[in-house]
Structures are given as C-alpha cells and as structure tokens.
Amino acid sequence: MARFTLELLQQKGFNLNGDKAEKKPTNLLNPIQKSKYKNKKQVNADGVKFDSKLEMHFYNLLKDNGIEFKFQEKILLQNSFRYDGEAIREMAMIIDFAIIRNDTIIAMVDTKGMVMPDWKLKLKLLKKKLYDSNSVIPIYTPRNQKQCAETIIYIKEKIRTHEQVRTF
C-alpha cells in the first residue's frame, strides 16, 4: 500500500490546510495547460479553424489536388427519442471531410491522431447506418501525414472510377 507523505501530496498539487488535504484548483488563466489526450490545440488557416495540424494538412492536400469536398460534415447516427419519460439526445458524428462528386458523397475522411473509445463506437454506428442504406462509401482514417498522402491517392482513384461509371 502506497504511503502519502506531506511532501508527495504537495507535489501532486494538494493544498494542505491543517489535517485536511484539498486539491488546488487549476489555474484557468494559464494558457499553457497540457491537454488530457496530448492533442494539439486548434489551428487557424485560410479563415478556417482546424482541430489539429493533421486536419489542416489534409485540407491543404485536398485543395492542392483540386478535390471537391465538404468540411466538418455532420452525420446523424441516431435520432433523439424518449425512453421511460427521459429525453435521449440524438447521436451524431462529425466527419472531417466528405469527398463529393456530382453532388454525391463518394468517400469520407476523418483524420485521427489519437483514437478515442467513443469515436470507435460512432464509427461502428456509421458503418451500420451505411450498411442499412445499402451504401458502400469508403471511410478513411489517416493518422499521420504519410497516410494522408496515401489517402489522396485512393481518393483520386475512387474519383477516376466514379467518373468512368458515369460516362457509360
């Protein structure tokens, strides 16, 4: 069993008042606080707010390659409902990029540096929704810049084959 000394408690951020140890409140004015998940803070470019540098990198790749897309596309996974008098809110997933061709989504991209458990659940629900609607839309989840470049290649191929189908 670990023993907590007064010195150790002070190092952990506890304020010792007499015989009672209270956690010190975090300094809300300190702009350099570490994030819980060690993710990057929001990045601004072209007047657009990005959740990460990776998201901004992929945005620039899409722009540079002339690929049409929608940014931060909200997809409803489950409608709101009432259960035993309790209001259950809707569940939605915000996809970073929906790749568009002829007003149709042909691919989805969600850049992920750190994959969280709730995101895994939402991804499963999204796949189920696509399955139920007989839609086979690829979902790409690049986690670094190399994978972003590879995803662009896959998307270009998808666009090329989509256009061939439309011309017949």
Q: Tell me 142's DSSP state.
A: -
Q: Which amino acid is at 84?
A: D
- Compute CA distances 125 → 65, 68, 119, 128, 130, whole Å: 31, 26, 10, 5, 9
pLDDT the model gives residue 167: 42
The closest alpha carbon to 69, from 146, 144, 152, belongs to 152
Domain positions in the chain = 43-167
* Interatomic CA distance for residues 110 and 147, integer angstroms: 12
Q: What is the pTM of this model?
A: 0.70
Looking at every residue in the chain, the average pLDDT score rounds to 82
134 pLDDT tier (thresholds 50, 70, 90)? very high
Q: Is the pLDDT of residue 92 over 60?
A: yes
- pLDDT, residue 76, reads 95
Q: Give me the CATH topology for the region 43-167.
A: Endonuclease; Chain A (3.40.960)
pLDDT of 27 reads: 52
